[in-house]
Amino acid sequence: MSATQTNGSGPKALDAIIIGAGFSGLYQLHKLRDELGLNVRVLEKGAGIGGTWYWNRYPGARCDSESYYYCYSFNKEIEQEWEWSERYPEHPEIRKYLNFVADRLDLKRDIQLETKVVGASFDDATNTWTVETESGETFKAPFLITAVGCLSTTNVPKFKGLEDFKGKWYHTGDWPHEGVDFSGKRVGQIGTGSTGIQAVPVIAEQSKHLTVFQRTANYSIPARNAPVTQDDIRLTRTHYDDIWRRARASTNGHPFTVSEQSALAVSDDEREEIFEKAWARGGLRFRAAFSDVLMNPKSNEVASNFLRSKIKEIVKDPEVAERLTPYDHGFATKRPPIDTNYFDTFNRDNVLLVDLKKEPIVEITEKGIRTTEKEYELDIVVFATGFDALTGALLSLNIAGSKGYQLKEAWAAGPRTYLGLQTPHFPNLFTITGPGSPSVLCNMPIAIEQHVDWITACIKDMREKGLKRIEAEPDAAEKWVEHVNAAADATLLPMASSSWYLGANVPGKPRVFMPYAGGFARYTGICDEVAQGGYRGFSLS
Ligand code: N01
């Protein structure tokens, strides 16, 4: 039976509290409320649902996964009813989709918006979490589930003088809902990751002048965005079962068939032809052209060289092309961006590239940005500088577990979880797509569904058996962290020293490879075995 809410100003009693109303929170609410019949509340700091897609409204913001599989797979009716308009949906369309799902499942009545969680603490005597919000409301429940996303705490570098800047500045991950008018403006953009690469072409078109401040040159594959046709829709709808089967059996949760061939097993001409085809098709699928691009340094080098040659083909000024060409890391060892006219944009007269490796930023001034070489006068600065990824949002919740142990303490040397689902000493706390799970290395909705399904089944089992407490064992977490490191070390991923996968983009953050790189299908198998084995590595009571 569900707990009931306390009247008056005391804590509201629930069966489960979910923090965040993006892809994860919505699905978790549906599962716990509509399948298990629990009394659940979602606490969401935004004024609307959508999570990442509520905040990320910068120019050019669209999904890098293709629309037909960047969506939920759990509901056949929704799957058959919803129609995407583009190969890569733009941010308003993804919000529309999530609102459609939330309305269809009547989720909004259990979502409390504009409710920022500022603290959560566990009481060992009652096995209950108490969650506190910024406005002073409190909620109590045996289970606390974070659905806060992996890329939701913005990283604004602490440049000297930012407060003196007379123009306007924005971070892409906290973009004004009314948009930004760039017309007639001199804009400076810092950052050339996936976000920056999406924003540059659009801002260049809309502004008088754009200066791009690049610290690390990046590879990018053309997205080849296009409208979705009625034929595409019919085909996808007919084949959804197969699409999801392939996605679940894959390494990255994308329904692609990855080539079984090494990039070194073919002749130079054949390899070139295969890369050309993958380039022409566009998108993240480029990685699947050969089996070992992320495993074998030589295969990675041939892929990287192909992409370097493309930059030189597209960018007319050889000096600019050279500055845009990455040499310090191999293709896809950092999250590979996909783009629409990114490199071509540097052929425009109103775009300037500043190489921060040659002239680092010294300070932000009243008028703009001063590097070691000169002052660039600007009206607007755009920070496309990424996120305090994977741990930032979780640590900002001020979580205190068993005996008051702080999550900040537990993760002082980097996140230490068991399966990315739980952290020792934090009983009954589940972290959807937490560090140590495939999360950001995956097509997110698939990774989210797998976690939510596992958590829901676990809570159901516990309730059926009358168990009140589940907690990851320290030994199991220790071994899992070792396995996460070994899985990363078996790939080339840890070699990109400036990668946010390693926390390298945030000064002072521990350098630990955070997501699980062992593959989505393998990970799912491990989680299933753990559950079937009576939750091996967890203590239950
Ligand atoms: O962030 P990033 P992002 N001075 O960290 C630079 C997802 N995403 O927002 O590489 C100067 O990748 C930094 O330089 P460096 C996707 O998973 C998904 O672009 O650290 N520059 C880099 O160039 C992606 O990977 C979609 O040397 C500084 C940039 O800022 C993730 O979000 C779309 C700096 C930050 O790049 C994050 O992407 C967009 C400083 N002090 C993004 N600090 C989808 O479609 C940082 N930089 C789903």
Write the pLDDT tens digit of every residue in 324-346: 999 999 999 999 999 999 999 99
| Residue 6 pLDDT | 42
How many Cβ atoms sit within 10 Å of the Cβ of residue 408?
Answer: 14
**Residue 506 belongs to a domain with what CATH number?**
3.50.50.60
Nearest CA to ligand 1 atom 24: 194
Quote the CA–CA distance of 252 and 256 in Å, as a whole number.
9
Confidence grade of residue 5 (pLDDT, cut at 50, 70, 90): very low
Instruction: Say what the pLDDT of residue 11 is.
Output: 86
The pLDDT score that the predictor gives to residue 531 is: 98
Asked whether residue 96 is domain-assigned, the answer is yes
Q: Is residue 236 part of a domain?
A: no
Residues 508-526: pLDDT tens digits?
Answer: 999 999 999 999 999 999 9
Q: Is residue 26 assigned to a domain?
A: yes
CA gap 438, 519 in Å, rounded: 7
> Any idea how long the chain is?
541
Distance, CA of 145 to CA of 143 (rounded, Å): 7
Which residues constitute the domain of residue 471?
12-153+389-540
* Alpha carbon distance 232, 463 (integer Å): 44
CA-nearest residue for atom 40, ligand 1, is 157
Q: What percent of the chain has pLDDT over 70?
A: 98
Residues 319-328 have a mean pLDDT of: 98
Residues 6+ apart with CB under 8 A from 29: 18, 21, 40, 42, 107, 110, 111
Q: By alpha-carbon position, which residue is closest to atom 1 of ligand 1?
A: 386
Instruction: Give the count of domains, the chain.
Output: 1
Mean pLDDT, range 22-40, rounded to an integer = 98
Strands, sheet with 138-141, edge to edge from the N-terminal-most edge strand: 12-13, 138-141, 128-133, 117-123, 399-400
| Per-residue model confidence as pLDDT tens digits over 68-77 | 999 999 999 9
Q: What is the mean pLDDT of the chain?
A: 96
The answer to whether residue 42 sits within a structural domain is yes
Atom of ligand 1 nearest to the CA of 440: 17
Nearest of 89, 101, 94, 104 to residue 54 by alpha carbon = 94
Query: At 289, which amino acid appears?
Result: A
Q: Rounded to 5 degrees, what are φ and ψ at 322? A: -65, -40
Is the residue at 300 inside a domain? no
Mean pLDDT, residues 422-434 taken together: 98
pLDDT bracket for residue 257 (50, 70, 90): confident
Look at residue 508 and tell me if it is in a domain.
yes
> The dihedral of CA 84, 86, 88, 92: what is its sign?
negative
Ligand 1, atom 3: nearest CA belongs to which residue?
386
Tens digits of residue pLDDT in 463-480? 999 999 999 999 999 999
- Ligand 1 centroid – CA 208 distance (Å): 24
Residue 209 lies in a domain: no
Give me ligand 1 centre to Cα 38, in Å: 39
Secondary structure letter of residue 133 according to DSSP: E
In a domain, 92, yes or no: yes
ipTM: 0.99
Reported as a single tens digit per residue, the pLDDT across 356-367 is 999 999 999 999
Q: Cβ < 6 Å from ligand 1: which residues?
A: 63-64, 151, 157, 190-196, 198, 215-216, 335, 356, 384-387, 440, 498, 500, 505
